[in-house]
């Protein structure tokens, strides 16, 4: 970690002040669900159920096709817009990719980077998939880092996902895997712009499986992530960074997970697709 001067320290403290005591952040990752029509219905229900709710930051993360119309509906509300991916180049001949400028253009504030699914690490493996199937989900620690740098440069807040597979956990490698992902994601990230970064601890074996990580263990691993952020970016930044838990978070287990010291929010998949469930989790964060 490089030394920081008084000006940098002041800037960090400024942004820490804004995140003071780490306001909870609940984000709904809709994955590849919801047409535009369905998305607008869901978001209208959420607006009604969460009107004037101020206790936590609330984010919905629709598929790319629904970002623009959902963003229009969310203007001037307490719900922010997130995207599920970003490409690291600003523009050019990159068929199929979406840049940070394009995301900002449609009102996006947050972007999920390095989710286990684009990394080709699935909680529920694809049945009968050939050997090379997972190669097509080509996210790596290297591309995650390029995307984190691009998001910060564009003015977006990255939500960086890390987490171990079941085999890695069984082999006793959880902490090593997670620390390694944190280190690689933060390569060349500087101390000044990084205190608003968000991490999500998402044990791969808990995603979409109904298996939830024990709250004490989830808290412990989030603590490991914070410790590694401190190694990379210093203690002040590590204390300011918010760390979400993701993996089968539901209305009935959210309150316990969200009460833990190192868990500052949730990244919700399945339960974010129903307004009542997502609203219940948002309220459980209180």
Answer for which of 71, 158, 247, 265 binds ligand PGA (CB under 6 A) is: 247
Torsions phi, psi of 27, nearest 5? -120, 135
HSE at residue 254, side-chain half, CA atoms within 13 A, is 26
8 is annotated as an active-site residue: no
Catalytic residue of the set 115, 139, 168, 228? 115
Residue for token digits 């990719």?
97
Q: Decide whether 39 or 200 has the Cβ nearer to ligand PGA.
A: 200
Is 270 a binder of ligand PGA (CB under 6 A)?
yes
Closest among 1, 63, 11, 75 to 37, alpha carbons compared? 63
**With respect to ligand PGA, which residue has the nearer C-beta, 232 or 244?**
244
Options 117, 164, 202, 228, the catalytic residue? 202
The whole-angstrom separation of Cα 46 and Cα 60 is 10
Taking the chain, what is the end-to-end CA distance rounded to the nearest angstrom?
35
| CB-based burial, 206-244: b 16+ in 10 Å, e otherwise | bbbbeebbebeebbbbbbbbbbbbbebbbebbbbbbbbb
Nearest residue to ligand PGA on Cβ basis: 269
Interface residue with ligand PGA, options 157, 165, 248, 262 (CB under 6 A): 248
Q: Which stretch binds ligand PGA (CB under 6 A): 72-80, 140-148, 173-181, 263-271?
A: 263-271
The residue (of 124 and 129) whose beta carbon lies closer to ligand PGA is 124
Minimum CB distance to ligand PGA, residue 87 (Å):
20
For residue 120, CA distances in Å to 42, 138, 161, 173, 176 come to 28, 7, 13, 19, 19
Among 139, 168, 202, 277, binds ligand PGA (CB under 6 A): 202
Query: Which CB, 174 or 253, lies closer to ligand PGA?
Result: 253
Least distance (Å) between residue 273 CB and ligand PGA: 9
Q: Candidates 176-184, 191-199, 201-209, 276-284 — which segment interacts with ligand PGA by CB under 6 A?
A: 201-209
DSSP class of 73: H
Let me know if 202 is a catalytic residue.
yes
CB closer to ligand PGA, 197 vs 267: 267
Q: Are 221 and 178 in contact (CB under 8 A)?
A: yes
CA distance 124 to 122: 5
Q: What Rg value do the Cα atoms of the chain yield, rounded?
A: 18
Restricting to residues 20-49, name those near ligand PGA by CB under 6 A. 29
| Rounded Cα distance, 18 and 142, in Å | 30
Q: Does 99 bind ligand PGA (CB under 6 A)?
A: no
Q: Does 253 bind ligand PGA (CB under 6 A)?
A: no
Q: Just list the catalytic residues.
A: 115, 202
| Footprint on this chain of ligand PGA (rule: CB under 6 A) | 29, 202, 207-208, 246-249, 267-271
């Amino acid at each position: 970690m490089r030394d920081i001067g008084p000006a940098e320290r002041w800037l960090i403290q400024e942004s820490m002040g804004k995140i003071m005591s780490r306001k909870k952040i609940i984000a709904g990752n809709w994955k590849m669900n919801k047409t535009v029509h369905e998305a607008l219905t869901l978001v209208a229900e959420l607006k009604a159920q969460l009107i004037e709710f101020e206790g936590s930051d609330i984010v919905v993360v629709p598929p790319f096709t629904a970002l623009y119309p959902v963003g229009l509906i969310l203007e001037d509300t307490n719900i922010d817009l997130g995207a599920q991916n970003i490409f690291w180049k600003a523009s050019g001949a990159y068929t199929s990719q979406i840049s940070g400028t394009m995301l900002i253009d449609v009102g996006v504030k947050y972007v999920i980077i390095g989710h286990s699914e684009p990394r080709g690490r699935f909680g529920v493996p694809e049945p009968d998939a050939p050997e090379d199937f997972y190669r097509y989900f080509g996210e790596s620690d290297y591309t995650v880092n390029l995307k984190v740098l691009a998001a910060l440069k564009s003015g977006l807040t990255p939500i960086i996902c890390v987490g171990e597979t079941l085999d890695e956990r069984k082999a006793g490698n959880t902490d090593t895997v997670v620390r390694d992902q944190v280190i690689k994601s933060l390569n060349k990230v500087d101390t000044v712009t990084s205190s608003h970064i968000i991490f999500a601890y998402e044990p791969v074996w808990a995603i979409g499986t109904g298996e939830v990580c024990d709250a004490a263990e989830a808290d412990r691993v989030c603590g490991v992530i914070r410790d590694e952020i401190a190694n990379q970016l210093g203690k002040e930044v590590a204390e300011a960074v918010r760390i979400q838990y993701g993996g089968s978070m539901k209305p009935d287990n959210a309150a316990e997970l969200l009460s833990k010291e190192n868990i500052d929010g949730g990244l919700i998949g399945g339960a974010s697709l129903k307004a009542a469930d997502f609203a219940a989790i948002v309220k459980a964060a209180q």
